[in-house]
Structure 1
Amino acid sequence: MAATATLTLLLTGCASGGSSADGGDEKIVLNMWGFADLSAPLVEKYEAEHPNIDIQSKISDYDAAHQTLLTSLIAGQGPDIAQIAVDYMGEFVDNSGAFTDLRDFGAEDLAGDYLDWRWKTGVASDGSVVAIPTDVGGMAIAYRKDLFAAAGLPTDRDEVSALWPDWQGYIDTGKKYYAATGKSFVDAGKAIYRAASNQADEKYYDADGNLIYEDNPAIRQAWDYSMDAIEGGLSADLATWSPEWLAGMSNGAFATIPAPAWLLSTIKQQAPDTEGQWDVATLPGVVGNDGGSFLAVPKASKHAKEAYDFITWLEAPEQQLALFEDNRTFPSTPSLYEDPAVVDLTDPFFSDAPLGEIYIDSVKSLNGYPIGPDSRVVEQQFEAGVGRVEQGQAPDESWNEAIEAAARETNG
């Protein structure tokens, strides 16, 4: 957070890179930093169609990638293209002066091509377009049919969806599963907290930019759901991306997992022998989002126009469709929600569940919530609080500790 303040002070000293050569035979290298690989075939396709463009990617761990970007921006440096996760967008949009205003290239004309709530996340208060959305993390519940059957629970996806019209129904189902098997129902209490809190119209900030986490009933409700799950023995307490979490997808360590669209490819990769044992039901409350990212052009780039051209090509509906078909990154361009390639998508690994329909329904009526400069750091405090309860701390004590830590980290 101190680095963010430093960035704000130093922005006036950053040199503007501007656009470089207009093509020709000059080889232009576009350096792209991020935390997740983009589709290599699409990058190769773009390079083949633009032989003077060479795109070089540097991929780092999630939090480290954003810290490295922030440090570079403070120094007036940075890549030509920056991938920024939605959780961090508030911090970088708050320092929009470190980025090229993509309105310089006509980006405002693209707003209608994207989900409104998603587009607005990449726009600063002064109207400058900092970044363009890539995917959204439409939500559902992936569940193991074989484990449900062993517990005497329904396995048909419509019947399963009907079990949990809300999160209380989900937790009640988990308690039945635990009573029948003595095994964990969900990968972690944090997963419930995150999915439920992400459904709110306001999360850590209100529409006026005020921090509201302490008094927001939606946050307290999401917290209480996760506490109920932990105290009921439903949580496997597995850290996301840990070896144990990845192995749990195949070894039955949990029967359900709140699943953004992008997670489906991970399940397939980590649990190839469970094909047909998985199915996908609707999320409690139906709508929800977890994840997705944006692409921005730091002001230090000397190839801003070329970077913008690549970004807008990659995020156009045709390429978003290719990404969805390849790795299940769900499109942020709603025109594709009427495309049969999305609407009718099924996958035999997930028992031919209507993935397109389920994930379209999860995002098309979502309002989104304001994301502020400290959203990520506040999220970390509450997730840490849930983790402490997993380890035995009293829920109210951990809640108060999370509130105090969030206030300390945000100076609020």
Structure 2
Amino acid sequence: MDRVTRAAQQVDDQFYRVLTVLRAVTLVYAVGVNAARWRDFEHPGAAWALIGVMVVWSGVVTWLYEPRHRATWVFVVDMLVTLALLRSTLYTHTDEMIREHTFTLTTYWVTTVVLCWAVRWGVTGGLLATAIVQSVDVTMRPTVNSSTVGNIFLMVLAAMLVGYCAHALRVSAVRRVEAERAAAIATERERLARAVHDGVLQVLALVQRRGAEIGGEAAELGRLAGEQELALRSLIQSRARDETAADGELVDLGRALDALAEPRVSVATPSRPVMLPTEVVDELVAAVLACRSNSLLHGGPETSTWILLEALDDRVVVSVRDDGPGIPAGRLEQAEAEGRMGVATSIKGRLRDLGGEADLVDTAGQGCEWELTVPLARVPGPAGTR
């Protein structure tokens, strides 16, 4: 039995233990009421014999409701025994007692089987059991008065309440177990990702760079190392990133960036989802693609790009770095003055519209690096683990 099933069963076990106590309390009440009026019965000996059956059956059914015996037939047999004892009221009571709507032989003891059905099959099961029990009770009465209607209403209310609570608590327990499992998996994935990143990925990245510098067969080896780095990074970053908000307006920025990975584009994102509104994610991805296009335009098809996503407490930062020729100081300002607004519009403009900023980091002539920052305070409804 897995943890999810066990969690749901534990909720049921708690309910049946409470109902066992309720069965005992209502049994004591039934014995007391019948003892006080035993002289009024038409067949007192049969009444005491049937009360003895109630006592014995209460003990037997308590054992049957234990988890290892709790099957559908137990609920059915419990209902049949209860109905038989309830119907025996016609034999033990006088006609006058029946007409006066006095307590049945079972009194409130019949409520327990109704609530057991409610726990087992929810509100529907509880209402069905109520209909069965009350139909037998009503057909014994020559008339239906306010007392009968009140009993029916109370039983319906109890069945609905217990059925709903059992279902809600069962769902809550299952979700808690699933959340704990997901958290444990995410923690273990982060630990493995750190171990792999600190060792294998760094070595593969080093082999890729050194191979490109040496050239020849070493360059081919470096290319293969780069492909394996990408494959391994994608593997350790594979995770359940399909979480969306109830209204469908939040998507995972990390998943969107992972989709940009290719042999010469390396993507590193957190191991947990970074949930942001769809329009924010779309604009950030578009800005990253503009950075990559700019790298290819000025560095050629052999230019490599590294994309890093950092989800901080108050902001999201996407770093885009390449190994191209870089951008000389003042070149962007000159391009804007000449009317070439590609970078200003496709990168800086997008971040400005999001309430963030796009900064060109000084790399001392070794490639180009952009930092795209979006403050979470300016983003409507960001969510997820950061």
TM-score after normalising by structure 2: 0.22
Choose 1 or 2 for highest CA Rg.
2
* Greater RCO (Cα-Cα under 8 Å, separation 6 or more): 1
What TM-score does the superposition give when structure 1 sets the normalisation length?
A: 0.21
More helix by share: 2
